[in-house]
Chain A
Amino acid sequence: MLTDIVQLVLNGIMAGAILAAPAIGFTAIYAVLRFPNFAVASHATIGAFAGYCANVWLGLPLLPSAVVAFLVAGIVGVTSDSLVLRPLRSAGLITTTIASVALTIALENLVRLGFGNALRNYDLPIMRDWRFGGIRVGPQQLEDLAISAAAVAALFTFLAFTRLGKAMRAVADNPTLAAIKGIDADRIARIVNFIAMGLAGLGGMLLGLDTSIDPLTGFRAILAIFAAAVVGGLGSIPGAVVGALTVGVAEELSQLVLPSDYRTVVGFIAILLVLSFRPRGILGARAY
């Protein structure tokens, strides 16, 4: 029983580490542009398929494929935002949110048009799980964790030490003041979209590495992504990491008492609990 729990917690931490990438993307867009962007779902799918093309069609190894996933999803993110969502932002929060839902369904169906609904697998060497006592660890999962952690660490370095990172935090903190100081809000919005959707794409690929991908890969993860962001504090990037780990572990531990199909519902319950008792989330709304 104890080893079961340790195993589940360990699985949860690895799942949560993967979830952290798209959750950061979602929360970063919320922090800077102030709306929940449902399009992270389709960008996760786009990243998963971009990584698939790089890995299977071009025969690239895992790491360069992950870079491709990040770049393609990031570029699509900047393009779709400036073409579709940016002109609607002045119409208000609800309009932009609904437009992001329509956008995510449109992009998901573009992927479906190109690739169909078939499940696809990455071309990865099959590795035996490592065993420590009764605990199993997959080398692939560790690699996913390392990639996700590296991306998150790079983002934190960027936010903490570069001029652009500081400008981003300034806009998230107080857009009016940032504008007075001469920070170009449109430029910041483009950079945020690039990084956030890139992270979503990377996360989408990592989600599919263990199993398989299809056009719904991103949408299936959307509740867990929202839950991670809300539990940590919507708009807080460290919060998204804490929230993702919490949701990951909670989803795994729930298997002790619930059938595994209910994993998605765990995210929803986590959202309800946090909103009822601590609406600003574990770390509160500070962006950084």
Chain B
Amino acid sequence: MIAYLTAMAISAGIYALLALGVNLTWGMAGMVNLGLAGFFAVGGYVSAMLTKAGVAIPLGIAAGALAAAATGAGVALITARLRADYLAIVTLGFSESVRIAAANEIWLTNGSDGIAGIPGPWRGTLPPQQFNLVFLIIVVAVLIVTFVLLQRLVHSPFGRVLRAIRDDEDVAGVAGKYVLAFKVKAFAVGAAVLGVAGALYAHETSFVAPDLFAPLLTLNIILALVAGGVGNNAGAVIGAVLIVVLLEGTRFIAPLLPFLAPAQIAAVRELLVSGLLLVILRVLPAGIVPEKIST
């Protein structure tokens, strides 16, 4: 039971990091990111490949974050001049392209078999139970540091400009802010957080494969953020915890519906998640913790 709760807490922490990363670009800068699974994958794969080649784990995670940030900046550079709807299309296309490339560049990523045996911190020397506990502490520490840094970013001049761009790009431009640069930076930082989450995930499970980065992950995180409150870091974390509890909770519907095949059970779970997102968008558009607008 404790092992199960620890594993759940680790995924909640990783989901919270993902929600924080998306919140920076979407909640603060108004740029929607439907390709977060792609950045998550970039972080995971880069760190997995480097640490398997002998690089230390913290360096691998940092490299994963940098790689995700660089790809994020590239995606933002191409789309930042365009309206939000193009960004939705391009980011989704990006994550699908990453998945297809990961499945086909076998020399680099071992194709759809994925990369197994990724080292984790003290994995060999600790018993599995304690390894999970140590990993949980690492995830929570990373989450707290990220949260504090992002919180400072919100109240910094940089964060103020991002919110100005979100609310009215032209006004921010007229006020002398170089909108494109701010958008690219925001997207890169957000993508870096997603990359860190991906790297942590890879080191926790010791395995990455293209199918882990399906669009459904993106939907889960967006649900977490919308439920918690877009534009609010605390809301992002609370939403992530709620969604993990909900996702785990839907596991228990399987025994209730014994006449359904496994594929159908999976369908019911996904229906619940997407249906819940639609309901929350309708009845609670500002989320559980609405963004405080300071005047």
Distance to closest chain A CB from B287 (angstroms): 12
Are A91 and B281 closer than 8 Å at their CB atoms? yes
A sample of 10 cross-chain residue pairs with beta-carbon separation below 8 angstroms, ordered by A number, consists of: A84-B278, A94-B30, A101-B222, A105-B219, A106-B271, A106-B274, A234-B85, A264-B97, A265-B96, A279-B86
Q: Give every chain A residue within 8 A of B273 (Cβ-Cβ).
A: 105
The total number of A-B Cβ pairs within 8 Å is 126
Are A275 and B86 closer than 8 Å at their CB atoms? yes
Q: Is A36 an interface residue (CB 8 A)?
A: yes
Residues of chain A in range 238-288 having any CB-CB distance to chain B below 8 Å: 259, 261-262, 264-265, 267-268, 271-272, 275-276, 279
Q: Give every chain A residue within 8 A of B81 (Cβ-Cβ).
A: 279
Could you mark each residue 81-104 of chain A with 1 if its beta carbon is under 8 Å from any beta carbon of chain B, else 0?
A: 000100110010111011101110
Are A93 and B85 closer than 8 Å at their CB atoms? yes
Distance to closest chain B CB from A103 (angstroms): 7
Distance to closest chain A CB from B224 (angstroms): 12
Distance to closest chain A CB from B282 (angstroms): 6
Contact of B278 among A36, A103, A267 (CB under 8 A): A103
Q: Which residue on chain A has the smallest CB distance to residue B271?
A: A109
- Chain B: residues with CB nearer than 8 A to chain A? 26, 30, 32, 34, 78-79, 81-86, 88-90, 92-94, 96-97, 100-101, 103-104, 215-216, 219, 222-223, 226, 260-261, 263-264, 266-268, 270-271, 273-275, 277-278, 281-282, 285
Residues of chain A in range 206-231 having any CB-CB distance to chain B below 8 Å: 215, 219, 222-223, 226-227, 230
Q: How far is it, in angstroms, between the C-alpha of A183 and the C-alpha of B27 when the chains are bound? A: 36
Are B100 and A264 closer than 8 Å at their CB atoms? yes
Are B278 and A91 closer than 8 Å at their CB atoms? no
Contact of A97 among B85, B268, B277, B278 (CB under 8 A): B85
Query: Is the interface on chain A under 10, 10 to 19, 20 to 34, or 35 or more residues?
Result: 35 or more
Distance to closest chain A CB from B114 (angstroms): 16
Are A95 and B267 closer than 8 Å at their CB atoms? no
Q: Is A58 an interface residue (CB 8 A)?
A: no
Q: How far is it, in angstroms, between the C-alpha of A105 and the C-alpha of B89 when the chains are bound? A: 16
Q: How far is it, in angstroms, between the C-alpha of A88 and the C-alpha of B282 when the chains are bound? A: 7
Q: Is A166 an interface residue (CB 8 A)?
A: no
Are A275 and B268 closer than 8 Å at their CB atoms? no
Q: How far is it, in angstroms, between the C-alpha of A175 and the C-alpha of B149 when the chains are bound? A: 44
The list of the 9 closest CB pairs from A to B, nearest first, reads A112-B267, A268-B93, A106-B274, A109-B267, A102-B277, A105-B274, A102-B274, A113-B267, A117-B263
Are B96 and A264 closer than 8 Å at their CB atoms? yes
Q: Give every chain A residue within 8 A of B30 (Cβ-Cβ).
A: 94
Are B285 and A230 closer than 8 Å at their CB atoms? no
Q: How far is it, in angstroms, between the C-alpha of A42 and the C-alpha of B195 when the chains are bound? A: 30
Q: Give every chain B residue within 8 A of A36 (Cβ-Cβ).
A: 85, 88-89
Q: Give every chain A residue within 8 A of B100 (Cβ-Cβ).
A: 261-262, 264-265
Q: Give every chain A residue within 8 A of B84 (Cβ-Cβ).
A: 93-94, 97
Q: How far is it, in angstroms, between the C-alpha of A261 and the C-alpha of B267 when the chains are bound? A: 26
Distance to closest chain A CB from B76 (angstroms): 12
